């Protein structure tokens, strides 16, 4: 009996210890998960209330598998079947990269052309997926309904926090000196480029302003100028026509000029400076969309009177439509503001919030971010170069390594675009006759007012797009070599 | 000894039962909270991973107290002191409603004028706070980086889901017939109004298009036309000048007209129709910003060839900058698209996502939403009317109850603005001499090309703004009565 008692005692002790352990665990665990009341003020934020549903939704959509060749978005078209049960919203379907299809983007069409046309900067997407936590934002339904930011001294249409972060970013990267400059936001550089023309060309008195750029140039400059069809300005063509303008038969002393300088240049990635000589009747707009360490060495901070930058080519968020201008002259700044108010009442406050969120991540992870971007473009450029160097028909623009003040190092070229040239005299229409027939979609030289023996190929799209482009180029170059060998045999 | 053994046995049994209960509780509890792996596919969504931080941030910012007279936003200026501990980001400071100040907006300045100037639609904010859960969205860092929505058949700059929801909303409300109409998105009606002018006025051949509107009209029509200074169109003034235009000395058979019709009208809230007779040289832009049940009875669905709507006045999200046009003619639609591409490469995809999120809430809670909106504007109008009816100096526009197909009922007037008139002949400058000196900021009649004996007062701002406006108007009217009594005593 004594033994029994001892056994019970031992078992009891064991059970009591187990109970104590379980209760302790429960107390600690529960202590961490007291729900905070809605809008309540609490220091314990592990539990969420009204944001939980949208957060869940975002995680569910992110978890949809598109085989690594596409992506499902919150506002995608509803898929025909729900792949997850118990969800009260229709799941969006995958949006596939070019040449991929099927409900999960797993099927590849090998007869599909490699699309290297647009400057869609998806090469930066992997960075944002890696930094999922810090790049995500939660926007309550009542966020900034007003037209205005209600700052204590003055209401504005623009986020001062965003402006402050942009200045900080330029200082960190060393690509622009913002001291003493006004800043204006726009819907990408697209809206700002047109605003700049309006801001720089006086409406009256009537002297017309000629808008000029150096071939090859980004076609938007001309297209916008033509479309807006203003009494104040008109397209003036290539800068070389006006370099010695006093000798030009069309010269008129009352003509003003606005020169667009794109640096690095789109399409050829070269750093550029103005062509027209400085004079009171010449104004210059510096389009610095690509003046970031992913695309070029940064020799020195830009400090021109009117500079335009865009989020699209910086963080890769082309869809957000956000850009900014740095402006020295106060009157020009005021006309810029007028344009923004009359054109769209400023930039979407939602898009300002998102830009701020993204720039905070870039500021916090600057080195990693720019190294990732630069490494990607550099590697792509190297690979394409290697392929093209085996060809006698095609060549690429010449770019040389340069010292980058950002990386404090000599950096190899890493342009956003390849500016392909067809070297043979008979290949006047390089794009139509060679690349397009070889299954490559590029942008013909004529789009940039250059000869059609040039074609721009984008190096900043998704990895799928680049891989397919490279394969197609490889095939074209191999074909050329086979032809040559055959030709040699025939001799 | 036997007894001891029994006691131990009983205690042991009790302890074991407790063990079992605790373990069962833990198993159930843990079963509900297994974390889903990042981007993992799981049916259990109670736990969040990479969205948790931003969700927490949103809840913390929403919990900042601004005494009910202001609000803290995610992108607000950092407050000098953190009111919550253990948070790794600077908390934003409160942005206070007009006349309120202090770090928590608790202080009121009674010498501050009542600001009834802008059409900032904050009267709808309480609805969005009530529907916190369904109105909130979580946007991952990699959301829609591309310029394009990659739909299977065709890439676009526009969300088809958003378009579908807008069509559904018009069908539910019965305020527009969208059948057979193309849809285009813009940065609020602001961008669309200008786009419409460009889309309707042919660039060549050269006949100039005159842009006209009926006094009193929304000043943006003229300001935009003047600013863009196009060769294709110019401001033509009040429609009444052109009603019988063949008799006008300025008449030229090659002149085209574009008439702006704002219905309900801004400023006076009246339903309007075109004034110029229909003819091939006359095009009409219907600005239906206020054609929603909060502001007017809906007699029938609008079905004009070119109609413009905006989210600002529908959901109250003016800051989002989103609107849409419904267009019958395909050529006009194509030129509209050209404008949108050349002006801003379409509308921010972030702002399209947010608009979709908000419209889903409106569609799901239509009756509650429009009843809340209509009740607010109607009550404000009634209160102001009651105050003004005691005055001989001031009067308001006459609006009558009408049958609303939406509410299936006769509804009392509920305009967005009061169009105040000073009745006495000597009060030519009603705004300067009476209202502004009485501490009320409104928008002078001349802004709408009407006489300055009219002033527009906004009824759609925050409740604080309306309450203060009403108090100031009460004071003005009481003052008038005291003056009258004093005058009577003097006789």
pLDDT for residue B249 is more than 80: no
Q: Which residues are bridge partners to B78 per DSSP?
A: B92
Measured between alpha carbons, how far is A367 from A173 in angstroms, rounded to an integer?
Answer: 9
Residue carrying the six token digits 């807006």? A228
By Cβ distance, the residue of A85, A346, A350 closest to B350 is A350
Nearest-CA residue of chain B relative to A125?
B142
Give the pLDDT confidence score for residue B44 in this predicted structure: 44
pLDDT for residue B8 is more than 80: no
Q: Grade residue A36 by pLDDT with cuts at 50, 70 and 90.
A: very low
A223-279 pLDDT, tens per residue?
999 999 999 999 999 999 998 766 665 656 678 999 999 999 999 999 999 999 888
**Beta-sheet pairing, B440-441 with B182-186:** unpaired
Measured between alpha carbons, how far is B363 from B172 in angstroms, rounded to an integer?
Answer: 8
Least confident of A82-91, A181-190, B397-406, B447-456: A82-91
CATH class of B367-490: alpha beta
Cβ partners under 8 Å of residue A126, min gap 6: A372, A463
Residue B369: closest CA among B407, B412, B416: B407
Average pLDDT over residues B329-353: 97
Give the pLDDT confidence score for residue B252 in this predicted structure: 63
Give the pLDDT confidence score for residue B208 in this predicted structure: 86
- Integer angstrom CA distances of residue A299 from A181, A266, A371, A381, A418: 21, 18, 17, 20, 21
Q: Do A317 and B145 touch (CB under 8 A)?
A: yes
ipTM exceeds 0.95:
no
Q: Looking at chain B, how many residues does it have? A: 491
B147-187 pLDDT, tens per residue?
999 998 889 999 999 999 999 999 999 999 999 999 999 99
B17-55 pLDDT, tens per residue?
777 776 666 555 543 433 333 444 444 445 899 999 999
Same fold across A160-364 and A367-490: no
Give the pLDDT confidence score for residue A299 in this predicted structure: 97
Give the pLDDT confidence score for residue A5 in this predicted structure: 67
Q: Do B142 and A128 touch (CB under 8 A)?
A: yes
Q: Do B232 and A229 touch (CB under 8 A)?
A: yes
CA atoms within a 13 Å half-sphere pointing along the CA-CB vector of A428: 1
Average pLDDT over residues B439-454: 96
A348-377 pLDDT, tens per residue?
999 999 999 999 999 999 999 999 999 999
Q: What is the CATH number of domain A52-112?
A: 2.10.25.30
A174 φψ region: left (φ > 0), alpha (ψ -120 to 50), beta (else) = left
The residue of A69, A127, A145, A200 whose CB has the most chain B CBs within 10 angstroms, and thus the best one to mutate to test that interface, is A145
Q: Do B230 and A227 touch (CB under 8 A)?
A: no
Query: Residue ranges per domain, chain B?
Result: 52-112, 160-364, 367-490
As a three-state string, the secondary structure of chain A is: CHHHHHHHHHHHHHHHHHHHHHHHHHHHHHHCCCCCCCCCCCCCCCCCCCCHHHHHHHHHHHCCCCCCCEEECCCCCECCCCCCCCCCCCCECEEECCCEECCCCCEECCCCCEECCCCCCHHHHHHHHHCHHHHCEEECCCCCCCCCEECCCCEECCCHHHHHHHHHHHHHHCCECCCCCEEEEECHHHHHHHHHHHHHCCCCCCCCEEEEECCCCCCHHHHHHHHHCECCEEEEEEHHHHCCHHHCCCCCCCCEEEEEEECCCCCCCCCCCCCCCCCCCEEEEEECCCCCCCCCCCCCCECCCEEEEEHHHHHCCHHHCCEEEEECCHHHHHHHHHHHHHHHCCCCHHHHHHHHHHHHHHHHCHHHHHHHHHHHHHHHHHHHHHHHHCCCCEECCCCCCEEECCCCEEECCCCCEEEEEECCCCCCCHHHHHHHCCCEECEEHHHHCCCCCEEEEECCCCHHHHHHHHHHHHHHHHHHHHHHHHHHHHC
* Cβ contacts from A onto B, under 8 A: 404
Measured between alpha carbons, how far is B394 from B390 in angstroms, rounded to an integer?
Answer: 9
B105 φψ region: left (φ > 0), alpha (ψ -120 to 50), beta (else) = left
Per the model's pLDDT, the better-predicted residue between A88 and A346 turns out to be: A346
User: What is the nearest CA distance from A15 to chain B, expressed in angstroms?
Assistant: 6
pLDDT for residue B83 is more than 60: no
The Cα angle at residue B340 between residues B334 and B346, in degrees rounded to 5: 120
How high is the mean pLDDT of chain B? Answer: 90
Q: Grade residue A42 by pLDDT with cuts at 50, 70 and 90.
A: very low
> What whole-number percentage of chain B has pLDDT above 90?
76
Q: Residue B227: enclosing H or E segment and its boundaries?
A: helix B220-228
Q: Residue B108: enclosing H or E segment and its boundaries?
A: strand B107-108
Cα dihedral B140, B146, B151, B156 sign: positive
pLDDT for residue B322 is more than 70: yes
Measured between alpha carbons, how far is A250 from A245 in angstroms, rounded to an integer?
Answer: 8
**Dihedrals φ, ψ of B299, to 5°?**
-70, -35
By Cβ distance, the residue of B40, B41, B51 closest to A58 is B51
The residue of B40, B139, B338 whose CB has the most chain A CBs within 10 angstroms, and thus the best one to mutate to test that interface, is B139
Cis preceding-peptide flag for A142 (omega within 30 of 0)? no
The residue of B28, B54, B70 whose CB has the most chain A CBs within 10 angstroms, and thus the best one to mutate to test that interface, is B54
pLDDT for residue B99 is more than 50: yes
pLDDT for residue B2 is more than 80: no
Measured between alpha carbons, how far is B277 from B269 in angstroms, rounded to an integer?
Answer: 23
Question: Considering only CB atoms, which chain B residues are within 8 Å of A198?
Answer: 227-228
- DSSP-based three-state secondary structure for B456: strand
Q: Do B19 and A23 touch (CB under 8 A)?
A: no
Residue B418: closest CA among B438, B435, B439, B404: B435
pLDDT for residue A41 is more than 80: no
User: What is the nearest CA distance from B491 to chain A, expressed in angstroms?
Assistant: 49
Give the pLDDT confidence score for residue A214 in this predicted structure: 98
Give the pLDDT confidence score for residue A435 in this predicted structure: 86
Cα dihedral B345, B348, B349, B355 sign: negative
Give the pLDDT confidence score for residue A153 in this predicted structure: 81
Give the pLDDT confidence score for residue B222 in this predicted structure: 98
Give the pLDDT confidence score for residue B80 in this predicted structure: 66
Per the model's pLDDT, the better-predicted residue between B470 and A437 turns out to be: B470
How high is the mean pLDDT of chain A? Answer: 90
Hey, what are A194's tokens?
């047109």
Residue carrying the six token digits 């007279």? B69
Cα dihedral B3, B6, B12, B13 sign: negative
Give the pLDDT confidence score for residue A243 in this predicted structure: 85
- Integer angstrom CA distances of residue A313 from A209, A383, A410: 29, 21, 22
pLDDT for residue A40 is more than 50: no
> What whole-number percentage of chain B has pLDDT above 70?
87
Q: Do A342 and B194 touch (CB under 8 A)?
A: yes
Question: Considering only CB atoms, which chain A residues are within 8 Å of B49?
Answer: 59
Q: Residue B489: enclosing H or E segment and its boundaries?
A: helix B463-490
Measured between alpha carbons, how far is B261 from B285 in angstroms, rounded to an integer?
Answer: 6
> Among the residues of B264-391, which ranges form H helices?
311-315, 330-344, 349-364, 366-389
Q: Are B419 and B396 in contact (CB under 8 A)?
A: yes
Least confident of A28-32, B142-146, B306-310, B443-447: A28-32
Give the pLDDT confidence score for residue A24 in this predicted structure: 61
Q: Grade residue A20 by pLDDT with cuts at 50, 70 and 90.
A: confident
Answer whether CATH 3.40.640.10 is correct for domain B160-364: yes
Cβ partners under 8 Å of residue A291, min gap 6: A175, A176, A263, A264, A298, A302, A309
Q: Do A227 and B339 touch (CB under 8 A)?
A: yes
B349-377 pLDDT, tens per residue?
999 999 999 999 999 999 999 999 999 99
Q: Looking at chain A, how many residues does it have? A: 491
Q: Are B205 and B214 in contact (CB under 8 A)?
A: no
Average pLDDT over residues B425-444: 89
């Amino acid at each position: 009996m004594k033994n029994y008692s001892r056994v019970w005692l031992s078992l009891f002790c064991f059970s009591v210890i187990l109970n104590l352990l379980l209760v302790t665990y429960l107390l600690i665990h529960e202590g961490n998960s007291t729900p905070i009341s809605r809008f309540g003020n609490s220091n314990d934020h592990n539990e969420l209330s009204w944001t939980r549903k949208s957060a869940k939704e975002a995680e569910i959509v992110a978890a949809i598998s598109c085989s690594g060749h596409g992506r499902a978005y919150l506002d995608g078209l509803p898929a025909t079947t729900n792949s997850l049960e118990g969800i009260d919203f229709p799941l969006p379907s995958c949006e596939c990269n070019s040449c991929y299809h099927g409900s999960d983007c797993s099927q590849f069409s090998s007869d599909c052309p490699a699309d290297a046309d647009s400057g869609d900067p998806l090469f930066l997407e992997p960075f944002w997926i890696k930094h999922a936590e810090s790049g995500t934002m939660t926007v309550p339904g009542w966020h900034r309904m007003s037209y205005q930011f209600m700052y204590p001294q003055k209401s504005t249409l623009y986020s001062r926090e965003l402006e402050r972060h942009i200045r900080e970013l330029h200082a960190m990267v060393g690509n622009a000196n913002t001291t003493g400059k006004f800043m204006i936001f726009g819907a990408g550089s697209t809206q700002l480029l047109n605003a700049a023309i309006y801001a720089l060309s006086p409406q009256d008195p009537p002297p017309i302003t000629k808008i000029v750029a150096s071939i090859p140039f980004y076609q938007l400059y001309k297209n916008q100028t033509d479309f807006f069809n203003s009494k104040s300005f008109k397209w003036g063509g290539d800068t070389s026509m006006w370099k010695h303008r006093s000798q030009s038969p069309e010269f008129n002393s009352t003509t003003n000029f606005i020169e667009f300088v794109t640096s690095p240049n789109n399409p050829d990635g070269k750093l550029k400076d103005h062509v027209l000589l400085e004079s009171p009747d010449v104004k210059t707009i510096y389009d610095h969309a690509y003046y970031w360490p992913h695309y070029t060495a940064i020799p020195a901070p830009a400090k021109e009177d009117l500079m335009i930058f865009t989020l699209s080519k910086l963080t890769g968020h082309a869809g957000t439509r956000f850009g900014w201008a740095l402006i020295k002259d106060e009157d020009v700044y005021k006309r810029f503001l007028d344009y923004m108010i009359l054109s769209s009442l400023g930039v979407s406050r939602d898009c300002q919030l998102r830009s701020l969120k993204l720039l905070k991540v870039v500021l916090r992870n600057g080195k990693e971010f720019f190294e990732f971007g630069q490494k990607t473009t550099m590697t792509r450029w190297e690979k394409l170069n290697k392929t093209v160097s085996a060809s006698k028909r095609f060549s690429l623009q010449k770019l040389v390594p340069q010292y980058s003040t950002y990386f404090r190092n000599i950096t190899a070229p890493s342009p956003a675009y390849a500016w392909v040239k067809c070297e043979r005299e008979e290949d006047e229409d390089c794009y139509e006759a060679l690349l397009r027939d070889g299954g490559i979609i590029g942008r013909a030289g004529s789009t940039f007012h250059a000869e059609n023996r040039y074609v721009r190929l984008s190096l900043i799209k998704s990895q799928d797009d680049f891989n397919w482009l490279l394969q197609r180029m490889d095939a074209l170059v191999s074909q050329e070599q086979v032809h040559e060998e055959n030709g040699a045999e025939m001799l």
